[in-house]
Structures are given as structure tokens and as C-alpha cells.
Amino acid sequence: MSTTDFYAQPGEETEGTVYTAMGGDWAEIAAEQAERSDEILVINMGPQHPSTHGVLRLILECDGETVLSIRPGIGFLHTGIEKNMEYRTWTQGSTFVTRMDYVAPLFNEAAYCLAVERLLGIENDIPERAQVIRVLMMELNRISSHLVAIGTGGMEIGALTVMTIGFREREMILDFLEAVTGLRMNHAYIRPGGVANDLPETGIAQLRELIAWLHKHLPEYAAFCNENPIFKMRMMGIGHQDLAACMALGVTGPVLRSTGYDWDLRKQQPYCGYETYEFDSVAWQPDDGWASSDSYARFRIRLEEMWQSLRIVEQCADRLESTAGKPVMVADPKIAWPAQLAVGPDGQGNSHEHIKHIMGESMEALIHHFKLVTEGFRVPPGQAYVPIESPKGEIACHVVSDGGTKPFRVHMRDPGFNHLQSVPIQCEGGLISDVVVAVGSLDPVMGGVDR
């Protein structure tokens, strides 16, 4: 046994007694600790704990089962996405940002592309059909993200059926996303100027089937959980965080709306034409005598938000039927991605007609294709910050251009990064078992937190 803290920084003073187990000396450590009569125990929950929504480390100081202090340790999933984007073209940026919050990738893409379009000054030039497709894909992605939050949250407290049925519905949504984009996740589908390609020929029919499926199965979650006494006992009053704490820490999304404060950027600061859709933003107002601002309120908000998203998806389906054949990318050939993509059995690639044109019919088209794909388009110098409402809360992109074909700087505001800072407020003074519930109710995705 050693009482030297090998992990301390030079000159850093040790606070309390540090035990470094060298193997075979547990009895000696236990005896010395018993003499000190100090029962405070430091526990590492993670970084591979199954209930931490990714590679998250939580350092807990506990007195018995009571959490005295808790500190999130992040950075285990850092991928350098923002730095990498400084060496890629503006269009290639979509491929990077989509890998941050991998449960809701389309929102990463949308925030980034809206910021680039603001710098380009083409916000009002995006075709109507492209905007409708963006809204459709984001709202389906919102439902699938909430299904993961509800399903994994249920699994972590023993409600395994909620997880199995949650992933069942999510698979149906991912099947549709794959039919449109060629990929189940990490789509790089939303591009500056519009979207990569239109819906396939069978897209509307598949969308109608998906809508019918969700109408049939979404009620099951309320039946399983809303009035389940064990479920409510594990959720109600756990992870409490009031409005003042949310405002101080920049907490948004379902966690903010669980306090009763109605703040949804789709309503407050509309984008992509959300002001033209009929839906309600959901702020939980308790009606049975218990305080809101807890894990149960966040669960109920996500449950209702799935229904509101389904309302928007139905409106999108109607609009897509009426705008069939219209463009999905800006007309400016200096910005629009020159490829004409199609989804085939091998995923996404150039359509045969486009390859035939650029390879056999038009040298100018081939030169344009090569130059725009390899070099990219130029973005006027300046900076833009665009926030949107993701399933977790406010996600935003701050882009800076020096007038070149690559971003000078890209920074993403991921809601999970802010939300993890509120873990001590929610968990200190509670039980170890409640930490899992509280963190699950925040719904952090570590790919977005660490970036």
C-alpha cells in the first residue's frame, strides 16, 4: 500500500488520505480506514458504466448510499471534429458534424448548414421542397431520439419492455431514413443549399406506412409508464432542478420545459418554415399535486413531444405530395453540389444519368464537377451563429469564414455539454441509485458533449 498520490500534479497538496492499492493489501487498507472512522467513499461510475449514455465518468463521494458530491469527467470520446473541419470544404463539413450527437445526427447537420447559408446570404433561396424534407427528417429523428431516451431510461431502472418496444419503433424510422439518405445514421444528408437528394419513388408510400405504424404503437408507452406506481416512484422527485438553476446553467429543451417554462425555438425563433406548421410546444404543468422539474416530468414531455412531431410529419407528407418533382437544392451552380445522387442497393452514389453526362457528353460539366467537389465553393468573410431546437435542447453552430473554401473556425453548442454541468445540482444529497435516473433524464450523448 502506498499513501502517495501518483496522479497529483507537481506542487498539488493532497486533501485527506489517499490510498493506492498495490495488490494484496486490501486488509491493510481496510484496517487503516477503520481506525480513521471516516466512511466517505470515492466511487468511479464509469467511464464504461452501462447507464451513462456513452463514455462518461462520474466521480462520486458517498457517505454510505448518499451522494455528498458528484463531478462529471468528460473527454473520453473527444474526436477533434471541430478542428478537422478547418481542413475540409464547407460541404464536407456535414459529414463531420453528423457524427457528434449520433442519436440525432440530422440536427447537427441542420444547425451547421443553416449557419453556412446565413454567411452565403442564401437563406431565402432554399427551395420549398428542400425545407419540407429537412423538417420531415428532423421530426422523425426527434421521435427516434426520444425513443432512445425513453427506452434506455426505462432499461436503466428495470423497465426492459419499454426499451425493447422503443427500439422497435426506432428501427421503423431508421428504415425510412436509410431509404432516403442511404444510411441509418451519420447521414450527411442536409447540405448547404438544400438536401443531397429527393425522396425515392416509394418514399411517400413508405412514409405513410410509418405514420400509421407510429399512430398504432406510440400509445403503448403511456400505457406502460404513465401510471405505473413503480415507474413513478423511481422517477418522481428525482433529479429536481428548478427554473432558476436551468437559467443559470444554460439548460434548455425538455429539462427546461419540465419547470413549466415554455421555450421551444421552433415557436420562439422559427427556422426552416416551422411557423407554417400546426403543433404545440410542450411545457409540463403538473395537475396531481406533485412538483414538476423532475425526471418524471421530462419523461412525460418527451412522450408528448413525439405526438407533436408526428403531427408535423403528417403535414410534411401532404406538402411533399403537392410539391413532387420540384428542386431540393439551390439553383446557383457555384454552390449547389454538382452530383445528382441516387439511393441504390449499394447505398448512395451518383445516378447513372449524371455519370453518363459528365463522363461522355460534356467536358465543361466534368470540369465543374471536379473543381467544385475537390476545391469547394467560397464563403464570404464573416461569422454566423444559428441555434435550433434539437431533441435534447438548443443546439447551435457558430461558423467563421475568412473568405476561403474551408471554414476558419466551427464551434457547436451541444446541449448535453451544458446539461452535464447540472448533474451536481440534481444528484448531491440523493442516493447512488438516483444518479442513473437523473443522468438518464438529461439524455446526454457523449459524442456531442466531447466532440
- Express each pLDDT in 424-443 by its tens digit: 888 888 888 888 888 888 88
Q: Looking at residue 336, what is its pLDDT?
A: 78
Q: Contact, 308 vs 279, CB < 8 A?
A: yes
Predicted confidence band of residue 367 (pLDDT cuts 50, 70, 90): confident
DSSP 175-236: HHHHHHHS-SS----EETTEESSPPPTTHHHHHHHHHHHHHHHTHHHHHHHTT-HHHHHHHT
Q: Which residues of 111-139 are buried (b: 16+ CB within 10 A; e: fewer)?
A: bbbbbbbbbbebeeebbebbbbbbbbbbb
Q: Looking at residue 346, what is its pLDDT?
A: 56
**Poorest-confidence range of 24-38, 96-110, 224-238, 389-403?**
24-38
Q: Crossing angle, helix 128-156 and helix 432-442, to 10 degrees?
A: 170
Q: Looking at residue 347, what is its pLDDT?
A: 58
The Cα–Cα gap between 231 and 105 comes to 30
Mean pLDDT of 361-377: 78
CB under 8 Å to 315, separation ≥6 — which residues?
A: 277, 278
DSSP 216-231: HHTHHHHHHHTT-HHH
For residue 402, what is the enclosing H or E element?
none
The β-bridge partners of 44 are 59
Q: Looking at residue 293, what is its pLDDT?
A: 83
Domains of the chain: 81-326+380-419 (1.10.645.10), 336-376 (no CATH)
The Cα–Cα gap between 189 and 40 comes to 51
Dihedrals phi, psi of 41, to nearest 5 degrees: -120, 130
Q: Looking at residue 432, what is its pLDDT?
A: 86
pLDDT at 2 over 60: no
The Cα–Cα gap between 355 and 369 comes to 10
Q: Contact, 54 vs 78, CB < 8 A?
A: no
Which amino acid would we find at residue 171? E
pLDDT at 114 over 90: yes
The one-character DSSP state at 332 is -
Q: Which residue has the cell 459528365?
A: 358
Q: Looking at residue 313, what is its pLDDT?
A: 93
Q: Looking at residue 369, what is its pLDDT?
A: 74
Predicted confidence band of residue 294 (pLDDT cuts 50, 70, 90): confident
Q: Looking at residue 237, what is its pLDDT?
A: 83
Q: Looking at residue 396, what is its pLDDT?
A: 93
Predicted confidence band of residue 225 (pLDDT cuts 50, 70, 90): confident
pLDDT at 231 over 70: yes
Mean pLDDT of 210-224: 86
Q: Which residue has the higher pLDDT, 28 or 71?
A: 71
Task: Render pLDDT for 138-173 as a digit per residue (tens, 0 to 9).
Answer: 999 999 999 988 888 878 777 788 888 888 889 999
Q: Looking at residue 111, what is its pLDDT?
A: 94
The Cα–Cα gap between 428 and 434 comes to 10
pLDDT at 106 over 90: yes
Positive or negative, the Cα torsion across 107, 110, 116, 121?
negative
Predicted confidence band of residue 327 (pLDDT cuts 50, 70, 90): confident
Task: Render pLDDT for 6-49 as a digit per residue (tens, 0 to 9).
Answer: 566 676 666 666 666 666 666 776 777 667 666 777 778 877 76
Around 12, how many Cα atoms within 13 Å sit in the side-chain half-sphere?
A: 10
pLDDT at 357 over 80: no
Mean pLDDT of 357-373: 76
DSSP 247-302: HHHT--HHHHHTTT----HHHHS--TTGGGS----------SS---SSHHHHHHHH
The one-character DSSP state at 42 is E
C-alpha cell at 105: 445526427
pLDDT at 77 over 90: no
Q: Which of 23-27, 109-113, 183-187, 285-289 has the highest mean pLDDT?
A: 109-113
How buried is residue 204: exposed, middle or buried, by Cβ count under 10 Å (0-12/13-18/19+)? middle
Q: Looking at residue 384, what is its pLDDT?
A: 93
What pTM, to 2 d.p., does this model score? 0.86
Mean pLDDT of 102-118: 92
Q: Looking at residue 138, what is its pLDDT?
A: 93
The Cα–Cα gap between 442 and 356 comes to 50
Q: Which residue has the higher pLDDT, 376 or 350?
A: 376
C-alpha distances in Å from residue 443, one per residue of 156, 174, 269, 271, 294: 12, 19, 23, 24, 13
Q: Which residue has the higher pLDDT, 177 or 229?
A: 177
Q: Which of 40-54, 230-244, 285-299, 380-394 has the highest mean pLDDT?
A: 380-394
pLDDT at 65 over 60: yes
Using DSSP's 3-state secondary structure scheme, residue 121 falls into coil
pLDDT at 395 over 90: yes
Mean pLDDT of the chain: 84
Predicted confidence band of residue 328 (pLDDT cuts 50, 70, 90): confident
Q: Looking at residue 277, what is its pLDDT?
A: 92
If one counts every other C-beta atom within 10 angstroms of the C-beta of residue 54, the result is: 19
Q: Contact, 65 vs 433, CB < 8 A?
A: yes
The Cα–Cα gap between 175 and 120 comes to 33
C-alpha distances in Å from residue 182, one per residue of 150, 166, 186, 198: 26, 23, 10, 12
The Cα–Cα gap between 366 and 440 comes to 50
